[in-house]
Amino acid sequence: MATESTTLDIINSPQTYISELSKHVGQEVVLKGWLYNVRSSGKIAFPQLRDGTGIVQGVALKNTVSPEVWEALKSLGQESSLIVRGTVRADERAPGGYEIDVIDAQVLQEVHDYPITPKEHGTEFLMDQRHLWLRSRRQHAVLKVRHTVVQAVRNFFDNDGFTLADAPILTPAACEGTTTLFEVDYFEGEKAYLTQSGQLYNEATAAAFGKAYCFGPTFRAEKSKTRRHLTEFWMVEPEMAYATLYDVMSLAERMLSHVAQRVLEDRAEELKVLERDTSKLESIVAPFPRLHYDDAVKMLQDGHDAGALENRFEWGGDFGAPDESFISSKFDKPIMVHHYPAIVKAFYMARDPERSELALGVDVLAPEGYGEVIGGGERATSLEFLKEQVRLHQLPQEAFEWYLDLRRYGSVPHAGFGMGIERCTAWMCGIEHIRETIPFPRMLYRIRP
Amino acid sequence: MATESTTLDIINSPQTYISELSKHVGQEVVLKGWLYNVRSSGKIAFPQLRDGTGIVQGVALKNTVSPEVWEALKSLGQESSLIVRGTVRADERAPGGYEIDVIDAQVLQEVHDYPITPKEHGTEFLMDQRHLWLRSRRQHAVLKVRHTVVQAVRNFFDNDGFTLADAPILTPAACEGTTTLFEVDYFEGEKAYLTQSGQLYNEATAAAFGKAYCFGPTFRAEKSKTRRHLTEFWMVEPEMAYATLYDVMSLAERMLSHVAQRVLEDRAEELKVLERDTSKLESIVAPFPRLHYDDAVKMLQDGHDAGALENRFEWGGDFGAPDESFISSKFDKPIMVHHYPAIVKAFYMARDPERSELALGVDVLAPEGYGEVIGGGERATSLEFLKEQVRLHQLPQEAFEWYLDLRRYGSVPHAGFGMGIERCTAWMCGIEHIRETIPFPRMLYRIRP
């Protein structure tokens, strides 16, 4: 049988990360990573090393490194794994501000046929190579932004007095019908469904903790092939007891402002890689404009009359992508549209006491055509009203008895929202397609690798 | 159609949370919550209010509140929703240190038949009422500890230079066979499986980010009905490029020390509710003792010879629960057992270069009988070795081609571990059964509510 051994001698020399070179100027360091690129000319070679925290250029002179190292550096292909010993030198001209004067190098694995080359590849090819594509500068930047979005969201809720209470993934019934649910074989022929939202469970935890949130993967078995749909995506859903629609709007704008601020501060380098217009992110500052659905409809109809929208929008419908884009184009901040017709919203939404045809719901529409990033509102508190809604929506009341209990035992006004992490990340990054904002995207025709 | 209205007048008075009463001594505040309990005698009543952040006792005098409020306070049942206006008074004798001199109260919903009473209920009944049971003092405390465990784990990795890179939940193939996998109907007859571990994906992200972690739900379709098994549980899995078994041990002990410290500091009140012996948590300080598998076997055989263990443990096997308990009982800290026989570990584990029958793996065994909380180690780097392992384990090589690519394109030593959040939480809380450590547990015979 083949056996496996590790090169302990190399591994044991302490590693300096490229992101920390500024602390080691003038010092000898050991960098461990992968060859990103190499140029050489005559007696000088410039190997670029990446280690996952950054990319740095080395400078190797033929007459200061050993002949073996010189030959190796010149001939290595992209993604060869190697360890470089050298001295850190500050250089304003260098990307990142530092270079490494190479003293020695050790190659762990020589690679010559790395499948992703600087030439243009098709998206399907790159998605098939997703496990490697993640190493590319742009993908790396997108996922660093995602990291910061998740971290900022969690810190925001933790610091705002929310308790993390994860909702279950395997659920016995659907919030809103079973047509877009993935079915799972549980035990002994029993069926379960992958969650679409932790919403109903959050209403229980909000009553237990006052303010609670869940943050996990959610699933939609929609046969959509748009740039805004994944079948598996992450969602954060806060819920507050003793709260109204207006508390939700305030929470949403504070959270988004915090997220944008963290991305701007922590991911400045990555935003440069992505060529993001950061002025767009700088304008994400609370308060956000608020627009009653009635006024949004008027805006759309005026837009149609002026020839800016092909179809005339009629009161009572839900907005399509062109409608959302048109509305958000009128503002330089995210816009909060509220008081939608109840008929286009979920059965559990509370109604406007003055106009019962309206739901106390809000959608936050991101600028630049990113559309809805947040949906939420106030939940109905009346047991009788909810029983009727369950009946009208032809849902099995028995499956909702536990949910109805929340109106039997200490019902209070409560409200919350959901935000898709990948849509938010795509917006922060300013990228076209949501599929690049999650490490291993799941779509209609893709569950690999 | 029934409509729904909210009591905006009440909601609009700003809420003070019970957790923040210390900032409002001598001031008039409005508390919004649920009746936890009430005693009355003659002309004085003591309603206890909970709001999700704490419980406080009110003092209401018959001659200082209105007759309606007096009658209401005396007759309300548990979990009635109500809003109390009163003055905060520091009182050393009060649990929490404060009391409320009640001025006024408004009842939102009177409740008289709350199903969970102070009497003893069976676990199945309480699990059926999980959506309400979460409000109970002990369940509330357990889930606040879980919140802190998750937060501490995430902060630890974020501050240690790790990038969050979530692994997919829907996966095309199994790490280690399909017998304990939940099957999902994907699209057009295609099958997917719910992830058991993000391990393989982490190896790709570690090569992209240097240090990466995933943190999400994982699933095991095991027909186990033990106090340590859930079918759906959360797991954190860090993975480091250019790292060895010894780096993993160092990381694991630093992380667990951090988690224990945060729980001790942030959850002191909850640990009192749980009657946790905090000295057990105070001793969770790195470094932890390390024990070679060979020495663990000798310890177990000596234990058998001394009559402390029923069965004699033979070299080559995996430890059972009594074995783990016996080993950990010899130490007052978590114990790290390393260099297990390769045959009991996963196919991707690296081998000891000196003794190829041993895997460079480690399990961290928690004290007090909590058993394995962490498993990890160094991964094999050789393409040929892994191909042979895939063949020996009768896994479909085609499904692992992407994983094998990680050894074709810049293979480096790398290592990581996985920790189950609920097992860690049960240990921190000192509670018997893992089912109380997640808001809505999923087990062999339970996917409701």
* H/E segment holding residue A238: strand A232-241
Q: What local confidence, expressed as pLDDT, does residue A171 receive?
A: 95
Q: Do A33 and B210 touch (CB under 8 A)?
A: yes
**What is the mean predicted confidence (pLDDT) over B183-189?**
90
In sequence order, what E strands does A252-343 have? 290-292, 335-338
Q: What residue in A sits closest to B110 (Cα-Cα)?
A: A410
In angstroms, the CA A264 to CA B423 distance is 37
Residue B415: pLDDT over 80:
yes
Q: What local confidence, expressed as pLDDT, does residue A4 receive?
A: 36
Residues 381-410 of chain B with CB under 8 A from chain A are 381-382, 384-385, 388, 402-403, 405-406, 408-410
A-B contacts (CB, under 8 Å)? 322
Query: What are the pLDDT digits (tens) for A33-84?
Result: 999 999 999 999 999 999 999 999 999 999 999 999 999 999 899 999 999 9
Q: Is B174 on the interface with A (CB under 8 A)?
A: no
In angstroms, the CA A333 to CA A289 distance is 7
A337 band by pLDDT with thresholds 50, 70 and 90 = very high
Query: Which residues in chain A have their CB less than 8 angstroms from residue B243's CB?
Result: 11
Q: What local confidence, expressed as pLDDT, does residue B173 receive?
A: 67
Query: What are the pLDDT digits (tens) for B342-372?
Result: 999 999 999 999 999 999 999 999 999 999 9
Mutate to test the interface with B, among A8, A223, A242, A387 (most CBs of B within 10 A): A242
Q: Which residue has the tokens 């610091």?
A: A159
Q: What local confidence, expressed as pLDDT, does residue B133 receive?
A: 98
Q: Do B184 and A183 touch (CB under 8 A)?
A: yes
Given the DSSP bridges, would you call strands A191-194 and A211-219 parallel, antiparallel or unpaired? Answer: unpaired
Give the tokens for residue A421. 């992490």
**What is the mean predicted confidence (pLDDT) over A113-140?**
95
Chain B nearest C-alpha distance from A161 (Å): 9
Q: How is chain A split into domains, by residue range?
A: 4-109, 130-437
What 3-state class would DSSP assign to A107?
A: strand
B119 band by pLDDT with thresholds 50, 70 and 90 = confident
What 3-state class would DSSP assign to B434?
A: helix
Q: Do B135 and A381 touch (CB under 8 A)?
A: no
Q: Which of B114, B134, B385 sits opposite A204 (nearest CB)?
A: B134
Chain B nearest C-alpha distance from A414 (Å): 10
Q: Is B44 on the interface with A (CB under 8 A)?
A: no
Residues 281-310 of chain B with CB under 8 A from chain A are none
| CATH code given to domain B4-109 | 2.40.50.140
Q: Which of A182, A350, A403 sits opposite B185 (nearest CB)?
A: A182
Q: What residue in A sits closest to B391 (Cα-Cα)?
A: A1
Q: What residue in B sits closest to A108 (Cα-Cα)?
A: B412
Query: Which residues in chain B have their CB less than 8 angstroms from residue A229's CB?
Result: none
Q: What local confidence, expressed as pLDDT, does residue B334 receive?
A: 98
**What is the mean predicted confidence (pLDDT) over B131-143?**
98
Q: What local confidence, expressed as pLDDT, does residue A227 receive?
A: 87
Evaluate whether A347 touches A176 at the Cβ level (below 8 Å): yes
Q: What local confidence, expressed as pLDDT, does residue B4 receive?
A: 36
Average pLDDT, chain A: 94
Query: Which residues in chain B have their CB less than 8 angstroms from residue A81's CB?
Result: 410-412
B204 band by pLDDT with thresholds 50, 70 and 90 = very high
Q: Report the 10 Å Cβ neighbour count for B329.
A: 14
In angstroms, the CA B177 to CA B174 distance is 5
CATH classification of B130-437 is 3.30.930.10, yes or no? yes
Residues 326-385 of chain A with CB under 8 A from chain B are 350-351, 353, 356, 360, 378, 380-382, 384-385
Number of continuous H segments (helices) and E segments (strands) in chain B: 14, 16
Residues 226-265 of chain A with CB under 8 A from chain B are 231-232, 234, 241-244
Interacting residues of A185 by C-beta distance below 8 A, sequence separation 6+: A191, B182, B183
Q: Do A6 and B33 touch (CB under 8 A)?
A: no
Interacting residues of B216 by C-beta distance below 8 A, sequence separation 6+: A216, A217, B166, B167, B169, B195, B198, B234, B235
- ipTM of the complex, rounded to two decimals: 0.96
Evaluate whether A185 touches A223 at the Cβ level (below 8 Å): no
**What is the mean predicted confidence (pLDDT) over A383-394?**
95
A221 band by pLDDT with thresholds 50, 70 and 90 = very high
Q: What local confidence, expressed as pLDDT, does residue B21 receive?
A: 97
Residues 124-143 of chain A with CB under 8 A from chain B are 131-132, 134-135, 139-140, 143
Q: Do A131 and B201 touch (CB under 8 A)?
A: yes
Q: Report the 10 Å Cβ neighbour count for A142.
A: 24
Query: Which residues in chain B have their CB less than 8 angstroms from residue A384's CB?
Result: 2
Evaluate whether B143 touches A165 at the Cβ level (below 8 Å): yes
Q: Do A147 and B132 touch (CB under 8 A)?
A: no
**What is the mean predicted confidence (pLDDT) over B108-135?**
95
Query: What are the pLDDT digits (tens) for B16-65?
Result: 999 999 999 999 999 999 999 999 999 999 999 999 999 999 999 999 99
Give the tokens for residue A324. 């959302």
The lowest-confidence range among A34-38, A115-119, A131-135, B289-293 is A115-119
Distances (CA, A) of B392 to A13, A448, B387, B389, B398: 35, 24, 9, 5, 14
Query: What are the pLDDT digits (tens) for B280-307?
Result: 999 999 999 999 999 999 999 999 999 9
Residue A178: pLDDT over 70:
no
Evaluate whether A220 touches A229 at the Cβ level (below 8 Å): yes
Q: Do A412 and B151 touch (CB under 8 A)?
A: no
Q: Is A307 left (phi over 0), alpha (psi -120 to 50) or beta?
A: left
Query: Which residues in chain B have their CB less than 8 angstroms from residue A381's CB?
Result: 4, 6
Q: Do B442 and A413 touch (CB under 8 A)?
A: no
Query: What are the pLDDT digits (tens) for A94-106?
Result: 888 999 999 999 9
